[in-house]
Amino acid sequence: MSVITTGTCTIGGLQLTLLRQVESGFEGGDVSAGKVARSWTVSAIVTSTQASSLYNLANTWRAGRLDDPDSVASQSVGTTVTFENVACWFTDMPSIQPLGAYYQADFRLVDAAQALAIATKDAEQQQGGGGGGGDLGRPDLGTVILGGVTITLTQPMETVGTLPTLARTSTGAAYITGPLIAPEVREITGTVANAAAYSSLVNWVMTTSQSIPAVNSWFPVSAPRATAEHKIISGLKVVEYTVSITVEKV
């Protein structure tokens, strides 16, 4: 941390010439993980004109931030104020108090780009990217290929189909009815690369279901389903397609 007790600074084109103190440091909740951003706490003596300009500057920034899209989702810092050539967000809005013929102005700023990087990392970890709240992320369950489409598994897929039915005679003796061998079934849930991959999977189902299956092939026994949602992966916003389908071995 450094402290400046004299000199000037500039915020949003407004020059403050009577500084009482500028503290430069960092703020954030997880220092050990590096999730802190540069910050500045400023205290200055200002004239009534400067006080009005600073108030209007902060209020304009506030209105702009309200209209900005979500910074993590858009990966944009949106509306900022420039402090000493750094794009910043206010973390404490200016407090302006009379001081004789002048005013004392106090406010706090944070480096917007660094603060956004921290928020992005937090969002990635909270959605299962690893780390947050003890979440170790998705297990590696491998992939499966259907119709040339690679599906990255998010759930175990191996199971069995219809089992024999246990019944009893009038005297209580047990016997079974139905097929004696339960078929191999895969209940597949996972992600695919994009919408085109899901479309290819649907086309495979339509084609396969219209033909006589070959022995030991996999035949679709449920219609494919898909969901799409925005995710932050490796710091980038992507659309992740999750598909589900059940197939049975012939």
Mean pLDDT of 222-249: 83
Q: Provide the whole-model pTM.
A: 0.57
Band of residue 235 on the pLDDT scale cut at 50, 70, 90: low
User: Using one digit for the tens of pLDDT, what is the confidence trace for 68-106?
Assistant: 888 887 889 999 999 989 999 999 999 999 999 999 999
Mean pLDDT of 227-238: 70
- φ and ψ at residue 131, rounded to 5 degrees: 100, -55
Give CA angle at 111 (110, 113), nearest 5°. Answer: 135
| From-to residues of CATH 2.40.30 in the chain | 2-128
**2-128 classified as CATH 3.90.550:** no
Q: Which long-range contacts (CB under 8 A, 24 or more apart) does 98-104 make?
A: 99/45, 102/18, 102/45, 102/46, 102/47, 102/48, 103/45, 103/46, 103/47, 103/48, 103/50, 103/51, 104/20, 104/43, 104/44, 104/45, 104/46
| Burial classification of residue 75, based on how many CB atoms lie within 10 Å of its CB (0-12 exposed, 13-18 middle, 19 or more buried) | middle
User: Using one digit for the tens of pLDDT, what is the confidence trace for 111-146?
Assistant: 999 999 988 888 777 765 544 444 455 678 899 999
